[in-house]
């Protein structure tokens, strides 16, 4: 379960998010659709605790993000930024993060194979193309076997075949997880879509 209650966010004098309410009661695949600059990344970062809202409350699996940091072990996050160490290989990175999480999940191993990442395990991250870095970051986000997966524009910059793979992976993950992704264009995947327009999230409730 994930719940945002009357969430507001302002940068300088501009309100980017205005009373966002979102309640997802069950597992599934959910998209946040909005044009460039509409606040999708800001909303996603609020959901994973990287940005604090000016007002409002966020709960993940019943845990209030302001009061308890234990929610972190249940979430997996893919952002635009590469969070892997450039000088380390893909394998070294994944092992490093797995050690930090105390977990190298089956789902991450599985997805790594599905994405064809195995052939780049001994490559340094700095030598990977954008799309392959993105695949590696996606696998990293799944290392802790998260119950809630938050993905900022997971399809952008990927080639056709990777987009198809990621579609299949998201569908599979969403069978027993909450998977939320942002997108600036209508998603080509069967999911529940929430529109973010001028800081307002429309119809933010799904059972």
Ligand X SMILES: Nc1ncnc2c1ncn2[C@@H]1O[C@H](COP(=O)(O)OP(=O)(O)OP(=O)(O)O)[C@@H](O)[C@H]1O
- Per-residue tokens: 83: 């969070």
Residues near ligand X (CB under 6 A), total: 11
CA–chain centroid gap for 82, Å, is 13
Q: Does 36 bind ligand X (CB under 6 A)?
A: yes
Q: Does 37 bind ligand X (CB under 6 A)?
A: yes
Could you give the string, one character per residue 167-186, with x where binding to ligand X holds by CB under 6 A and - elsewhere? -----------------x--
How many other CB atoms are found less than 10 A from the CB of residue 142? Answer: 23
For residue 65, the minimal CB distance to ligand X (Å) is 18
Choose the binding region for ligand X from 30-38, 91-99, 104-112, 123-131 (rule: CB under 6 A).
30-38
Do 84 and 35 form a contact (C-beta atoms < 8 A)?
no
Q: Does 16 bind ligand X (CB under 6 A)?
A: yes
Could you give the string, one character per residue 41-80, with x where binding to ligand X holds by CB under 6 A and - elsewhere? xx--------------------------------------
- Determine whether 199 is exposed, middle or buried from the number of CB atoms within 10 Å of its CB (0-12, 13-18, 19+): buried
Choose the binding region for ligand X from 38-46, 127-135, 172-180, 187-195 (rule: CB under 6 A).
38-46
Q: Does 116 bind ligand X (CB under 6 A)?
A: no
How many other CB atoms are found less than 10 A from the CB of residue 106? Answer: 10
- Which string of DSSP letters, residue by residue, matches 133-145? HHHHHHHHHTTT-
- Per-residue tokens: 33: 């659709």
**Member of 11, 50, 100, 202 binding ligand X (CB under 6 A):** 11
Do 141 and 151 form a contact (C-beta atoms < 8 A)?
yes
For residue 196, the minimal CB distance to ligand X (Å) is 7
Q: 24 CB contacts (<8 Å, ≥6 apart)?
A: 1, 2, 3, 30, 178, 180, 206
Residues that bind ligand X (CB under 6 A): 11, 16, 34, 36-42, 184
């Amino acid at each position: 379960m994930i719940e945002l209650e009357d969430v507001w966010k302002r940068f300088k004098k501009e309100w980017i998010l205005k009373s966002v309410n979102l309640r997802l009661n069950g597992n599934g695949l959910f998209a946040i659709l909005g044009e460039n600059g509409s606040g999708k990344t800001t909303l996603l970062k609020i959901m994973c605790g990287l940005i604090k809202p000016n007002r409002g409350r966020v709960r993940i699996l019943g845990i209030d993000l302001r009061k308890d940091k234990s929610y972190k072990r249940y979430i997996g996050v893919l952002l635009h930024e590469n969070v892997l160490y450039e000088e380390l290989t893909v394998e070294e990175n994944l092992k490093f993060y797995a050690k930090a999480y105390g977990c190298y999940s089956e789902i991450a191993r599985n997805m790594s194979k599905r994405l064809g990442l195995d052939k780049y395990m001994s490559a340094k991250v700095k030598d990977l193309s954008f799309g392959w870095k993105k695949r590696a970051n996606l696998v990293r986000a799944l290392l802790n076997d998260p119950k809630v997966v938050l993905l900022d524009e997971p399809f952008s910059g990927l080639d056709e075949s990777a987009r198809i793979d990621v579609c299949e992976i998201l569908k599979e993950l969403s069978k027993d997880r909450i998977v939320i992704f942002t997108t600036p264009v209508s998603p080509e995947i069967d999911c529940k879509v929430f529109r973010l327009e001028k800081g307002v999230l429309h119809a933010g409730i799904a059972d």
